[in-house]
Amino acid sequence: MKKFLKASVLVSVMVLLAFTVVGCGGQDAEKESGAKEQASEPVDISIATGGTSGTYYPLGSAVATVVNEAKLDINATAESTGGSVENARLILQNAADFGFIESGIAKWAYNGEEMFEGNPVENIRGVIALYPNTMQTVVKVNSGIESYADLKGKRVAIGVQGGSTPLNMEFTLDQYGISLDDIKPEYLGYGEAMQLLKDNQLDAVLVDSGAPSSSIIDISTQHEVRILPIEADVVSKMKESYPFFADSYVIPAGTYKGIDQDIPTTGSKVMIAVSADVPDEVVYNVVKTMFESKEKIVNVHEAGKSIQLETALDTIAIPLHPGAEKYYKEQGLIE
**Domain assignments of the chain as residue spans, ordered by start:** 7-39, 43-130+271-330, 133-269
The model's confidence at residue 40, banded by pLDDT at 50, 70 and 90, is low
The string of pLDDT tens digits covering residues 161-199 is 867 889 899 999 999 999 999 999 999 999 999 999 999
Average pLDDT along the chain: 89
Residue pair 39/7 in contact by the 8 Å Cβ criterion: no
Cα dihedral across residues 105, 272, 218, 187: positive or negative: negative
Kind of pairing between the strands at 204-209 and 155-157 = parallel
| Domain at 133-269: CATH architecture | 3-Layer(aba) Sandwich (3.40)
The string of pLDDT tens digits covering residues 209-268 is 888 998 999 999 999 999 999 999 999 999 888 887 788 999 999 999 999 999 999 999
The string of pLDDT tens digits covering residues 18-38 is 334 334 444 444 434 333 333
More confident residue, 82 or 12: 82
Pick the CATH number of 43-130+271-330 from 3.40.630.30, 3.40.50.2300, 3.40.50.1820, 3.40.190.10: 3.40.190.10
Q: What is the pLDDT of residue 163?
A: 74
Kind of pairing between the strands at 124-140 and 204-209 = antiparallel
Fold match flag (43-130+271-330 vs 133-269): yes
Residue 116 burial (CB < 10 Å; 0-12/13-18/19+)?
A: buried
Q: What is the pLDDT of residue 242?
A: 82
Those residues whose C-beta lies under 8 Å from the C-beta of residue 86, and which sit 6 or more positions away, are 48, 162, 163
The string of pLDDT tens digits covering residues 49-72 is 998 888 999 999 999 999 999 999
